[in-house]
Each structure stands twice: as structure tokens, then as C-alpha cells.
Amino acid sequence: MYLHHTLFTDIMEPQAIFEAVDIIRQEALVVALAGEEAAVNVVKSCLRLIIAAANEADSALRQQALKPRMIGKLDQALRSTFDKVADRESSFSLKRRLLLWSTVMAFKQISKTGSHSNYDYYFMKLNNQPWNDLSSVRPLKADLVSYRFLVGVYRTMEHQFMAAEPNFAFAFSHCTHSNFSNKRRILTYLSVVRLVLGRPPPRELVQKYSLLDFFTERLIDCWRVGDYSGFLEEVDQHKEWWRSRGLYTIMKERTKLLMWRNVLRRT
């Protein structure tokens, strides 16, 4: 009913794609909220398309030294989808699936743009939703893992490490073993947060997920004895790797206080 519109995406400019697909998104959302499961998948496809189109259009503008203008429209589209789903009083499973998925899409986009203040808007509305039984609906599992991981990343960037830790732990334990790269990524953040909180990652787990080059034996030993200079040397060997994940400053600064405490305990 709707998807044939996307056949034109290979001959249209990104901005035109965005505007055309966004109209389809709005129409499909009305049908989805009436309980039509097929329309839920259309909404998902539309959101993927407009995200790709907006980012491509703004990338082209940046290359011309022009101010990006699609990111605001994308934020409005993501927020509009979220609002219409969240404000619906029904608690049927299609609504819950779409609400969780639209949240994940919005959080991924926010993490790219760095506008972390936008998280608060979503959290405020999510707190009023019936989340307790979400994990019992099978199609939600992957989205729930993504959601908890992204919440953990947000809390980490805000230096709310105690709030971040259970989100990463949930995401890691519920991510399927077949998704090795995803589990490895989650474990990276979980291990850093636990280091800050005073618990080093188990060597066997770090080895299993090919992270020994970063959480080296020397790094953990320096962390335990409070050798900050040695610890920083290990971190700096892979500075760009840590930095690309937004974790370099945390590894460099937030572990320092804990290591000083370790030194004081030994004196």
C-alpha cells in the first residue's frame, strides 16, 4: 500500500526523499495505531529512510560549507512519531513495540548529534508507560536490548555510572550469543563503568570477547595498585579507540580518584 513509493528513492534528491517518505510515515502511523501490524513495519521502514535521507542531505550541505537544515526536521519527525504513540491510551502490544522502536531510533540519532538534553523529553514520557511487561513480548527483545544499551551510554556520558551499570548489565545478559560484535560493544562500556565503580572485568570474559588488547593485564594491575601513570600509559596506547567510543576522558579522569583511594588503603 505504501512501500511502492520507495521505488523512486534511487532517482530523487535526499531532501525530496525525506519529504515524500515523511508523508507516508504519517499516513502509515494512523493505520498502525489502529492495530494494523503491517503498517507498523511500514512506519519502521519510513523512519529508517528519513534518517538516512536527512543525514545524507546534511552531509552534502556540510561539504559545501553550508549550515545543515534537515536535522531539525528529522528531530520533529522522530518526536512526532514518539508522541503520537506514547499519547495513545491503549496498551496493545503493537503500540508497545512501536513505542520502543521509535525511542531507539530517536536515541541513536541523539547520540550522533550530541544534543543530550533531548533525552530528557523522551525519558519524561517513557516513565509513564507500562514497561514492566515489555520483556514478555518476544518481538521486543532486540529493541529492548538496544534501548537499555543506549540509556546506559547516555548515563555514562552524563557520568551517572551507578545508573548506567544495570542498563549495560541487562543489555549484555539479554543480547543473544550470536550477536558477538554487539555483546563485545556492550561489554566494553560495561567494563569501563565497573572500573569506575571499583570492579574490574573478569579476565575470562574480556578474553572471550577479544578485548584483551584494551583491558590488558597491566592496565588492570595498575588500576588495582593505584599506579595512575602506568594505567594511563596503557590507555594511551589505544587513545583513538577509546576516544571513538566516547570513553577516553572517562578512562583518563574518572578512574583517577578510585586509584588514589586504592593507594591510600595500601598505606
Q: Confidence class of residue 259 from pLDDT cuts 50, 70 and 90?
A: confident
Task: For residues 12 and 122, state if they share a domain.
Answer: yes
Task: For residues 172 and 98, state if they share a domain.
Answer: no
CA angle 20, 23, 24 (to 5 degrees): 90
202/191 Cα distance (integer angstroms) = 9
**3-class SS of residue 135:** helix
Residue 190, C-beta contacts closer than 8 angstroms, at least 6 positions apart: 152, 165, 168, 169, 172, 201
Task: For residues 169 and 71, state if they share a domain.
Answer: no
45/181 Cα distance (integer angstroms) = 24
Task: For residues 62 and 168, state if they share a domain.
Answer: no
pLDDT of residue 1: 40
Task: For residues 17 and 90, state if they share a domain.
Answer: yes
Task: For residues 165 and 121, state if they share a domain.
Answer: no
In 3D, which of 38, 7, 43 has the Cα closest to residue 24? Answer: 43
Range of the domain at 86: 1-131
pLDDT of 91 higher than 70: no
Rounded to 10°, the helix 37-63/70-86 angle is 160
Task: For residues 263 and 223, state if they share a domain.
Answer: yes
pLDDT of 10 higher than 60: no
Q: What is the DSSP letter of 201?
A: P
pLDDT of 2 higher than 60: no
> Mean of the per-residue pLDDT values for the chain?
83
Number of domains comprising the chain: 2
- Rg of the chain (C-alpha set): 21
Query: 111, 131, 151: which is the final residue of a domain?
Result: 131
Task: For residues 146 and 127, state if they share a domain.
Answer: no
- CA distances for 137 relative to 34, 130, 133, angstroms: 19, 13, 8
Q: In this predicted model, which residue has the larger pLDDT, 63 or 159?
A: 159
E strands along the chain, which residues?
Answer: none
Task: For residues 126 and 154, state if they share a domain.
Answer: no
User: End-to-end CA distance of the chain, in Å?
Assistant: 73
Contact 168, 149 (CB under 8 A): yes
CATH code assigned at 240: 1.25.40
pLDDT in tens, 115-165: 666 788 888 777 766 554 444 545 567 888 888 898 899 899 889 999 999
Task: For residues 35 and 61, state if they share a domain.
Answer: yes
Contact 58, 71 (CB under 8 A): yes
Contact 47, 78 (CB under 8 A): yes
Query: 131, 146, 166: which is the final residue of a domain?
Result: 131
Query: 105, 131, 157: which is the final residue of a domain?
Result: 131
Task: For residues 104 and 91, state if they share a domain.
Answer: yes
Task: For residues 60 and 147, state if they share a domain.
Answer: no
Chain position carrying cell 514520557: 125
Grid cell, residue 110, equals 541523539
Q: In this predicted model, which residue has the larger pLDDT, 163 or 41?
A: 163
- Count CB atoms within 10 A of the CB of residue 263: 12
Residue 13, C-beta contacts closer than 8 angstroms, at least 6 positions apart: 57
pLDDT of 75 higher than 80: yes
